[in-house]
């Protein structure tokens, strides 16, 4: 598969990951094909900075040095990278915009699932904006994660009664069957380039 490289300079790469491809290698010989391995075939020095779920498509950053990996990691930790996703949800979302603030923890017996836990969960905050509604069947939303927990967007949408269509872990049986893929796409990344100081803003067209 040809890699979609949206930005490349001597310090970093921005790639468009397809749905169904791992971000990094998993356990087992059948899980070695991934975005990072494909990138490293052409850019051996490339290092992972963050990840997207296998089922999620969209923008991913990779660093071309240890120093840049650390610098980009700090931007993520300090929440100085603007990230936006687009998703299609089950059912009609009544609110035009809002926030979901629910603590999350690994659902250990059913891993890799995550769940809401008010006792031991880590603080998690998602902002949503409704972009459109298709009758009572589905709603298209812009999702802005203010924290970066595993499966955060997927669990938060399920928690408010509107799981993401095509989600094999969190959607209803009908919602899972409604799409051959998870309808979640990382569509925007924006940040100040750590090496140049230039504001870098990248967008990826939503494929659904």
Residues with a catalytic annotation lie at 53
Greatest pairwise CA separation for the chain in angstroms = 49
What is the phi/psi pair of residue 117, to 5°? -145, 115
Q: Detail the DSSP E strand segments found in 49-168.
A: 57-63, 82-90, 97-101, 104-106, 114-116, 125-134, 138-145
Residue 15 and residue 62 in contact, taking contact as beta carbons nearer than 8 Å: yes
For 26, the 3-state DSSP assignment is coil
Q: Region of 140 please: left (phi>0), alpha (psi -120 to 50) or beta.
A: beta
For 100, the 3-state DSSP assignment is strand
Quote the radius of gyration of the chain (alpha carbons, Å): 17
Residue 153 and residue 142 in contact, taking contact as beta carbons nearer than 8 Å: no
Residue 38 and residue 3 in contact, taking contact as beta carbons nearer than 8 Å: yes
Q: What tokens were used for 103?
A: 């603590």
CA distance linking residue 102 with residue 21, whole number of Å: 28
């Amino acid at each position: 598969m040809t890699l979609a490289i949206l930005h490349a300079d001597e310090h970093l790469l921005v790639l468009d990951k397809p749905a169904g491809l791992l971000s990094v290698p998993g356990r087992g010989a059948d899980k070695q094909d991934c975005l990072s391995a494909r990138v490293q075939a052409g850019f051996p020095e490339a290092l992972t900075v963050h990840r997207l779920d296998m089922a999620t498509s969209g923008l991913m950053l990779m660093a071309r040095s240890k120093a840049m990996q650390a610098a980009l990691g700090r931007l993520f930790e300090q929440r100085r990278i603007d990230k936006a996703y687009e998703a299609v949800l089950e059912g009609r979302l009544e609110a035009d915009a809002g926030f979901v603030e629910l603590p999350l923890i690994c659902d250990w017996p059913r891993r890799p699932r995550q769940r809401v836990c008010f006792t031991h969960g880590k603080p998690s905050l998602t902002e949503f904006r409704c972009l459109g509604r298709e009758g009572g069947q589905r709603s298209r939303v812009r999702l802005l994660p203010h924290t970066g927990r595993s499966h955060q967007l997927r669990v938060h949408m399920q928690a408010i009664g509107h799981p993401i269509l095509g989600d094999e872990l969190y959607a209803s049986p009908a919602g899972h069957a409604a799409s051959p893929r998870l309808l979640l796409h990382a569509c925007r990344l924006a940040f100040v380039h750590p090496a140049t100081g230039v504001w870098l803003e990248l967008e990826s067209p939503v494929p659904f």
